[in-house]
Structure 1
Amino acid sequence: MTKKCGHVAIIGAPNAGKSTLVNALVGQKVAIVSPKAQTTRTRMLGVALAGETQIILVDTPGIFAAQRRFDRAMVAAAWDGAGDADMIALIVDGRAGAGPKVEKILEGLKDRPERKWLVLNKVDIAAKEKLLSLTTKLTEKCDFEQIYYISAAT
């Protein structure tokens, strides 16, 4: 029997474009988007439809090195959002690259059993010559089934 519904957790560093991507895939604004980091504070659900298939998208807070209890709760919510997922999509800001925040996420992601996709976002404003080396760096640290280059905003 063909699977008609699946859960996809959208994870990444703050301001990578997770909520923008969820809104684009759902086709309407279901997640708040702003230039301010940590706008998404709890996991949000959106449903994208493709023919007779439903994709439940779990928009998660940005993952970062949290110091305060509230921040730690947001990061825990992000990883918890990935817990029930059939697949995890790591969204990376193609312009910002793979800094310490992304490195930390890759460490937590690499041994997880779920299928993993890498989505490089903001490629419309990223330096094109750096995208391939960024992709190589990220795929050396984690085994991704698919890699996508997108602009969630456009």
Structure 2
Amino acid sequence: MEKQYRSGFVAILGRPNVGKSTLLNALVGEKIAIVSHKPQTTRNTIQGVLTGEGFQIVFLDTPGIHQPKNKLGEYMVKTAWRSLDEVEAILMLVDAAAGIGEGDRALFQSLQNRKAPLILAVNKMDAANEDTAKAQVEHLLTLGSADEVVYISARRRKGLGELEAALQKRLPEGPQYFPEDMITDQPEQRLICEMIREKMLILLQEEVPHGIGVELMALRERQGQALIDIEATIFCERSSHKGIIIGKQGSMLRKIGQQARYDIEKLLGCQVNLQLWIKVRENWRNSPLALKELGYQD
């Protein structure tokens, strides 16, 4: 008897900075979501696709759930909750190294009434005390239930096979939504902007990162050459931030451009000429028009 094809959508949920984007990149085997040590790195729900023999899992990497401070924050949290409406499973991630905190417990309890099965993935076990992590999970499970608990390290790619199996067995019979060689539905333009933003999140001072946005202005292939010209504008909220982004004699902007170009060339498979411009746009995170222009739309 022919084995039935199984497929479905899985939402990856968790507090900011627990490793959701790192896990998504590890599962699909390529970088599609940006990663940094700063919280609230993901601003849109990213779809990552894992296709195997007889199955396909479509992952939704949601922004970290936090208390919003502006309209961008409200958009991020709303996006996270909306991703749970029609999924086959919910994958909640906690950080074993930092410990399970009050925010994790509140989120876990809020997921108890959802129809979809709940898988609890305990991440960063490579940097945690195993006994402490398991004791904290036991305490968490006194507040509700999870259909399965899996201990992993997304960064070290440990436990991912067990996690994949836990998700696979909860998939219903369904169609293959995307071609086998497709790992994300995100357009190249958005991935390019996210790669530029990632480098700023990694390289810049603490006061700057979440006040920055990136808009792609031009993407042109040079005729007869394996070369693409890309122009992008970086938006920041203060004139003082503009100086930090540029750096002494342009050193920081060059570094951002060099590191972003490396990732973009890997994405596009050819040489890239990247030009970055900087504009001050005060309070853009509270402007519905600015949010729409930068791709954050309801």
Q: TM-score, normalised by structure 2?
A: 0.50
Q: 1:142 & 1:15 partners in 2: Cα distance?
A: 23
1:14 equivalent among 1, 16, 28? 16
**Secondary structure of the equivalent of 1:141?**
coil
* Distance in structure 2 (CA, Å) of the matches to 1:46 and 1:94: 24
Displacement of 1:73: 1.7
2:63 and 2:139 map into 1 onto residues whose CA distance is 24
Which of the residues 88, 112, 133 maps onto 1:110? 112
State the match for 1:4 in structure 2: 6
Shift of 1:36: 1.3
Matched AA of 1:6: G
C-alpha distance in 2 between matches for 1:19 and 1:37:
11
Unaligned runs of at least 5 residues, structure 2: 157-298
Q: Residues 26 and 154 of structure 2 are in contact (CA less than 8 Å); yes or no, is this contact kept in structure 1?
A: yes
How much identity, in percent, do the aligned residues show? 38
Residue matched to 1:136 = 138
Matched, 1:59 2:75: no
Partner of 2:88: 86
Aligned residues: 154
Query: Aligned-pair RMSD on alpha carbons?
Result: 1.4
User: What is the Cα deviation at residue 95 of structure 1?
Assistant: 1.2
- Residue by residue, what CA displacement relative to the aligned partner does 1:53-83 show, whole Å, maximum 9, x if unpaired? 1100000000122233321221111111122
1:83 match: secondary structure:
coil
Q: 1:149 aligns with which of 117, 126, 151?
A: 151
Moved more, 70-79 or 6-15: 70-79
Q: Deviations over 1:38-67 (max 9, x none)?
A: 110110000012212110000000012223
> For residues 47 and 94 of structure 2, what CA distance do their matches in structure 1 show?
20
| SS of structure 2 residue aligned to 1:2 | coil
1:83/1:92 Cα in 2 relative to 1: closer, same or farther (>3 Å)?
A: same
Which structure has the larger Rg over C-alpha atoms? 2
Q: Structure 1 residues 65-74 or 113-122, which shifts more?
A: 65-74
Please tell me whether the aligned partners of residues 91 and 119 of structure 1 are also in contact (alpha carbons under 8 angstroms): yes
Counterpart Cα distance in 2 of 1:4 and 1:129: 36
- Local SS of the residue matching 2:114: coil
1:16-41 CA distance string (max 9 Å, x none): 01111111110111111111111101
The one-letter code of the counterpart of 1:145 is D
Higher RCO by CA contacts (8 Å cutoff, separation 6 or greater): 1
Q: Residue 294 of structure 2 aligns with which residue? A: none
- Which of 135-144 and 49-58 deviates more? 135-144
Matched with 1:34 is 36
Given candidates 45, 48, 68, the residue that maps to 1:46 is 48
Find runs of 4+ consecutive structure 1 residues off by over 4 angstroms.
none
The match for 1:98 among 88, 96, 100 is: 100
Unmatched segments (≥5 aa) in structure 1: none
Task: Quote the residue 2:75 is aligned against.
Answer: 73
Q: Distance in 2 between matches of 1:101 and 1:72?
A: 17
The AA in structure 2 aligned to 1:44 is: I
